[in-house]
A and B are shown apart, each in its own frame.
Chain A
């Protein structure tokens, strides 16, 4: 993975020092809260319901063991012994004191981490495929390009006060694990007809109040022009994006208002003027960054592992975990291990300090020191020898990290909701907990197959409900929590928005209603047909009937 050189280190050091000064000016009264708020927000520090919340960037979701140990240390020393992994592959602390934040940032900087641009109307942390560098599906590793974008966007003088926040995701596989169609910019590396690798550029997707599946504005962008093209898009957005209404300020609204063709024309016009300038990195710099992402030195192994086979035969729980939580690796004899942060009845995405340390130790010992964070709020060990899966599972189990539910109905995305968040109208975590308890039986879950449940506690849609196979949106009705169900959404390569099927359900009704939906699916499905595919085949009508059957 990428390592800072003295320049990267100096920039982060300078930022910490600057923020320490800002905090001191606030504490001394030199800055009012109104003046300080935009400064703390530029550095990921929010004021939430109970306390401050600090969001730390995990660039494209990649962590070393040392970094994860530092996150655990911070959770223990400055917070309440846990941290929360988010849908943007970042991590949040829910209880830090303002006076400690400069020291926390100092600590993070020692492991090449920071909170730069984790909030504010700027270019946020770039996200990517958690299987990058490990899956045989990809055209090439997308992470060097993520790092190039990270550097270009860091403290960008022109784009730090955009109309609204700006999120970029990059993938290089046909199977989209980075949700590139619901980002402000989604980049998909692919091969042209002539065999050249470049980017498909998708602009103006997003969730929130106005969910949109992003349109492609350029089918093929040569890799070397990535930064000048991004700069052109951002410049058009910075100049012409709406600033009169924060709910209409995202780039998706601009793209929609102008129309894709006209927007593309504006971008291309701007690009023609800056293309080939100093923005486009020379090959030597691209290569310098790419070297950091060279594959680890894998052992030459047979495809199959005899010891794995044996363990699978002797332990059903392990066999299930291997079936559900591991994925194919490009290197024979290796596997990708998903670590579920969704124990039955748990808080989606939360991990204790001890759990983080356990994952860090496993990564160091068995996965070339690498951990990934997924946008579905889980962790991932990208390069584990099949021979070692049993040992990894055994340790994970000891730390309640071996829940075999990746991609299943209890692997739920949920925003923090009203338990933590000042914007929320309703709680979302308790709904996630109750659904996962309802489907606690792993035979049932595995039999049901892939069902993506996503829950948001308000219309801002941080829980991605629009793109859940089953989406749940909390709405406040005269002080009471109600939940509106959407069906048939997807954030993957078949991205689409779910249909709103009808009136909201009370907190007491919603879990039963989800169970009726799932039961209906089970009764109607064809062989091997996913929930989403059955929904697409049968349409909303019968599912709606099932949803409200008892009402």
Chain B
């Protein structure tokens, strides 16, 4: 399974494509796609290009957590630096 991720243009924060086509900061709220669907979702992003930068696909489990080879990297992106748990999304409640 895949999700679409990017950084928000204005502030660089990590965002994920939600089922409604908007961007969400929470991976748990991201749309989870089958592989081909995911490619299509990524390809159709062009129009909102002033909202985000550097969009790409990540592998996720069905429960939405990062999987595959880049799991550690994507977990850190989704949480924050492992050496500063007071920073990043992990520091924001819930």
Does B10 contact A99, Cβ atoms closer than 8 Å? yes
What is the interface of chain B mostly: helix, strand, loop, or mixed?
Answer: loop
Check: B19 CB closer than 8 A to any chain A CB: no
Counting residue pairs across A and B whose Cβ atoms lie within 8 Å, the total is 77
* Closest chain A CB from B23 CB (angstroms): 15
Residues of B within 8 A of A171 (CB): none
Check: A433 CB closer than 8 A to any chain B CB: yes
Does A27 contact B50, Cβ atoms closer than 8 Å? yes
Does A479 contact B69, Cβ atoms closer than 8 Å? yes
Check: B26 CB closer than 8 A to any chain A CB: no
Check: A176 CB closer than 8 A to any chain B CB: no
Does B53 contact A33, Cβ atoms closer than 8 Å? yes
- State the CA gap A95–B91 with chains docked (Å): 14
Residues of A within 8 A of B84 (CB): 347, 419
Contact flag A433-B69 (CB < 8 Å), given A49-B77, A50-B88, A98-B10: no
Does B82 contact A52, Cβ atoms closer than 8 Å? no
Does B50 contact A28, Cβ atoms closer than 8 Å? yes
- State the CA gap A479–B80 with chains docked (Å): 18
Which of A429, A476, A478 sits near B83, CB closer than 8 Å? A429
Count of chain A residues near B, Cβ 8 A:
30
- State the CA gap A395–B11 with chains docked (Å): 36
Interface string of A89-101 (1 = CB under 8 A from B): 0000001111100
Check: A366 CB closer than 8 A to any chain B CB: no
* Closest chain B CB from A200 CB (angstroms): 40
User: Which size bracket describes the interface of B in this complex?
Assistant: 20 to 34
Does B87 contact A98, Cβ atoms closer than 8 Å? no
- State the CA gap A47–B81 with chains docked (Å): 15
Residues of A within 8 A of B72 (CB): 418, 479, 481
Residues of A within 8 A of B9 (CB): 26-27, 33, 98
Check: A541 CB closer than 8 A to any chain B CB: no
Check: B76 CB closer than 8 A to any chain A CB: yes
Residues of B within 8 A of A33 (CB): 9, 49, 53-54
- State the CA gap A34–B54 with chains docked (Å): 9
Check: B1 CB closer than 8 A to any chain A CB: no
- State the CA gap A27–B10 with chains docked (Å): 7
Does A419 contact B50, Cβ atoms closer than 8 Å? no
Does B12 contact A98, Cβ atoms closer than 8 Å? yes
Residues of B within 8 A of A29 (CB): 49-50
Check: A51 CB closer than 8 A to any chain B CB: yes
Check: A80 CB closer than 8 A to any chain B CB: yes
* Closest chain A CB from B9 CB (angstroms): 6
Which of B11, B49, B70, B88 sits near A99, CB closer than 8 Å? B11
A-B contact pairs, 28 of them (CB 8 A): A27-B10, A27-B50, A28-B50, A32-B49, A33-B53, A33-B54, A47-B7, A47-B12, A48-B12, A49-B14, A50-B13, A50-B80, A51-B12, A51-B13, A51-B14, A52-B12, A97-B11, A97-B12, A347-B83, A347-B84, A418-B76, A419-B81, A419-B82, A419-B83, A419-B84, A427-B82, A479-B70, A479-B72
Give the top 5 A-B pairs by smallest Cβ distance, nearest first.
A97-B11, A51-B12, A52-B12, A419-B81, A29-B50
